[in-house]
């Protein structure tokens, strides 16, 4: 009996020592390469300069945030949060972008980021938070529905040609 107890304690100790913690913080200028790789997973191609500018813009724009979820210092997901004060609906938040690395999906990382953004939105006095997900991203739609997001309206888009 003491031997079994010893083995159980040993297994629990090894398991507990191998648990890796995820940490949410804000994107830094040194995160450019990792963010580029994440964006490429969804088919978006940005240059280093473009990502650097986005990090700077989010860092200097009041209430907008780029949240990262890190595992042992490496980014495994990120969320871009935009704040607006709508004429009709008042203060609101928007999840502009949410990406989790392929190998970390279904581990709760996206859920942690969304929860973090929702709590941040509440601190800002937002009464709602929205997200736009393109029609082909059925998996993303199911993800948001599991988090109690509902389909509320249609978005009409017109792409403008810049000269």
The yes-or-no verdict on residue 154 having pLDDT over 70 is yes
End-to-end CA distance of the chain: 79
The yes-or-no verdict on residue 104 having pLDDT over 90 is yes
User: Looking at residue 2, what is its pLDDT?
Assistant: 54
Lowest-confidence pick of 7-11, 15-19, 54-58: 7-11
**Residue range 1-10: average pLDDT?**
46
The alpha carbon of residue 94 and the mean position of all alpha carbons in its chain are separated, in whole angstroms, by: 12
CB 58 within 8 A of CB 66: yes
Which runs of consecutive H residues, i.e. helices, occur in the chain? Answer: 2-18, 32-41, 48-60, 109-123, 138-146
Average pLDDT, whole number, for the chain?
88
Structural domain boundaries enclosing 85: 18-146
| Cβ neighbour number for residue 144 with a 10 Å cutoff | 19
**Residue range 121-147: average pLDDT?**
93
Structural domain includes residue 6: no
Structural domain includes residue 159: no
Any idea what the CATH number is for the domain that residue 110 is in? 3.40.630.30
Structural domain includes residue 98: yes
Q: Report the predicted TM-score, pTM, of the whole model to 2 decimal places.
A: 0.83
Domain count across the chain? 1
User: Looking at residue 156, what is its pLDDT?
Assistant: 87
User: Looking at residue 23, what is its pLDDT?
Assistant: 94
Structural domain includes residue 3: no
Closest residue by Cα to residue 98 from 60, 61, 137: 137
Structural domain includes residue 57: yes
What would the pLDDT profile of 21-72 be if each residue is shown by its tens digit?
789 999 999 999 999 999 999 899 999 999 999 999 999 999 999 999 999 9
Structural domain includes residue 85: yes
User: Looking at residue 124, what is its pLDDT?
Assistant: 96
């Amino acid at each position: 009996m003491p031997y079994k107890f010893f083995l159980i304690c040993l297994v629990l100790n090894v398991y507990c020592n191998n648990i890796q913690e995820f940490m949410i913080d804000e994107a830094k200028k040194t995160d450019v390469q990792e963010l580029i790789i994440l964006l490429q997973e969804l088919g978006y191609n940005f240059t280093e300069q473009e990502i650097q500018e986005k990090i700077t813009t989010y860092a200097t724009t009041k209430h907008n945030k780029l949240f990262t979820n890190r595992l042992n210092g490496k980014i495994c997901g990120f969320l871009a949060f935009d704040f607006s004060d709508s004429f009709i609906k008042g203060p609101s938040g928007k999840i502009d972008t949410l990406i989790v690395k392929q190998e970390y999906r279904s581990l709760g990382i996206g859920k942690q980021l969304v929860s973090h953004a929702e709590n941040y939105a509440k601190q800002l006095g937002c009464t709602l938070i929205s997200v736009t997900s393109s029609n082909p991203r059925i998996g993303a739609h199911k993800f948001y529905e599991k988090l109690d997001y509902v389909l509320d309206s249609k978005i009409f888009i017109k792409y403008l040609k810049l000269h």
